[in-house]
Amino acid sequence: MNVRKQHIHLEVDTDDDPQVSATSARQRSEPSPAALRSLGVATPDVEMEQDRIGESLAAIWGLGGAELARWRRIIANSGVESRRAVMPLEEIVGMGTRDRMEAYEQLAPALAARAAATALDRAGLRADDITDLIVVSCTGFSAPGVDIELVRRLGLRLDVRRTIVGFMGCFGAISGLRTARAACAAEPGAAALVVCIELCSLHLRDDAAIDNQVASALFADGAAAAVVTGVDCNVSDGEEHDGAIGRLTTGAGRIIPEGADWMTWRITDAGFAMTLTRDVPPAIRDHIGEFLAQEDAGAGSMRSCIVHPGGPGVLDAVESALVLPSCAALDAARDTLRRHGNMSSATILFVLDEALRRGCESPHTLLAFGPGLSMERLTIL
């Protein structure tokens, strides 16, 4: 099927609807109540080359002949060259869900704290300046959880308001940023810390089914954090960025109902099982133009599209469907996938951090996908 590329300028024509036009005018004239001040990213210390992972998993699964050849093609076409994990993969495969969750409880807080400490330092904030803590994760459960551990490890206030954004998948960071924006809108002096922590490797399973092979070729471990502040929050400029990165819009979401079974994340007795079918990239290609064209009023023209690299097929779908102003941000997504793999919710903040290093200009539109099939976006002005 031939798909016409769409030029996206992210401006909404509301002249035919006076009520929408009036609302849009107010949004354009009113400043956003929250600013993204800084980012911080962290990965585990143990780095593994993709080819070695491929051979190790082939041995674990007992692949041979045509099955082995197919698996090697999956690895070769994954767009990943290296990944990081908190434990040797060979130790994870035979674990039950209880042992995997115990490992998550022990290993996730330290990695999350590293990313959070970097974000705080770059924002010029002390730990006791944080009024709201939002933890995003879909790869582990415990109570007391990572949020409580971050209070202890970072020295956050004991009365910090805590929120968990759980099991939402790869677009969880956007939900976390939206939650932080809401906190800062409600209290202009607020400072929110968003922490995404994902240990995807803990769900490596002894299952040679094609869905599990695709997931096992892509997912990895990582943490990313962001500091969001209200308009009345007094902070000094961070060392990494000159003042705020930008002001946050509310963003938007879209569910593609026919894709409910195309991307799933379910708990089994041997870890969490991912389903990722071939239907996902074509669905993204077919729907992404319309979704972005309905961007937030007042966002203006998009300078960079910060795309979650769910896999090379997802990035190819976005690139084939849109004529973007610059490919620099898409290059940042491909490079993040190449060096780190898919770290679920944390990945989009890695891509944004890399795009900023490359000098990509704002507005930045964050775009991610998750179970449902769902699309989420949020623009940084």
Q: Which residues contact 204 (CB under 8 A, 6 or more apart)?
A: 57, 89, 92, 93, 216, 271
Hunting for tokens 């319309």 — which residue is that? 290
Quick: pLDDT tens for 28-68. Answer: 445 689 999 999 999 998 889 999 999 999 999 999 999 99
| pLDDT of 304 | 82
| pLDDT of 10 | 39
Residue 15's pLDDT band (boundaries 50, 70, 90)? Answer: very low
What is the architecture, at CATH level 2, of domain 39-230? Answer: 3-Layer(aba) Sandwich (3.40)
Q: What percent of the chain has pLDDT over 90?
A: 74
Q: CA 276: distance to chain centroid? A: 17
Residue 289's pLDDT band (boundaries 50, 70, 90)? Answer: confident
**Nearest Cα residue to 84 out of 118, 123, 44:** 44
Q: Rounded to 10 degrees, what is the CA torsion of 284, 287, 289, 295?
A: -100
| pLDDT of 12 | 32
Q: Which residues are catalytic?
A: 170
For residue 305, is it left (φ>0), alpha (ψ between -120 and 50) or beta? beta
Concatenate the DSSP letters of all residues of 114-163 into one string. HHHHHHHHHHT--GGG--EEEEEESS---SS-HHHHHHHHHT--TT-EEE
Quick: pLDDT tens for 354-368. Answer: 999 999 888 999 999
- Token couple for 372: 């449902």
Residue 290's pLDDT band (boundaries 50, 70, 90)? Answer: confident
Q: Is the pLDDT of residue 241 over 70?
A: no
| pLDDT of 11 | 36
Q: What are phi and psi of 33, to 5 degrees?
A: -80, 0
**Nearest Cα residue to 95 out of 271, 334, 281, 258:** 271
Concatenate the DSSP letters of all residues of 124-137 into one string. T--GGG--EEEEEE
| pLDDT of 276 | 85
3-state helix, strand, coil in the chain (%, to 5): 45, 25, 35
Please name every residue paired with 248 in a beta bridge, in sequence order, or none if there are none.
380
| CATH class of the domain whose range is 6-32+246-380 | alpha beta
Q: What are phi and psi of 221, to 5 degrees?
A: -110, 145
CA atoms of 223 and 102, how far apart (whole Å): 18
The pLDDT mean for the chain works out to: 88
Q: CA 259: distance to chain centroid? A: 20
Task: Say if residues 277 and 3 touch (Cβ distance below 8 Å).
Answer: no
| pLDDT of 378 | 95
Quick: pLDDT tens for 163-208. Answer: 999 999 999 999 999 999 999 999 999 999 999 999 999 999 999 9
**Nearest Cα residue to 74 out of 370, 312, 368, 272:** 312
Q: Is the pLDDT of residue 224 over 70?
A: yes
- Token couple for 35: 């600013």
| pLDDT of 243 | 67
For the chain, the first-to-last Cα distance in angstroms comes to 35
CA atoms of 233 and 21, how far apart (whole Å): 31
Mean pLDDT across 104-130 = 97
**Is the sign of the CA dihedral 76, 79, 82, 86 positive or negative?**
negative
Tell me the one-letter amino acid at 150: L
| pLDDT of 361 | 84
Mean pLDDT across 304-317 = 92
Domain edges within the chain: 6-32+246-380, 39-230
Burial class (CB in 10 A: 0-12, 13-18, 19+), 144: exposed
* Fold match between domain 6-32+246-380 and domain 39-230: yes
Lowest-confidence segment of 97-101, 237-241, 372-376 by average pLDDT: 237-241
| pLDDT of 208 | 93
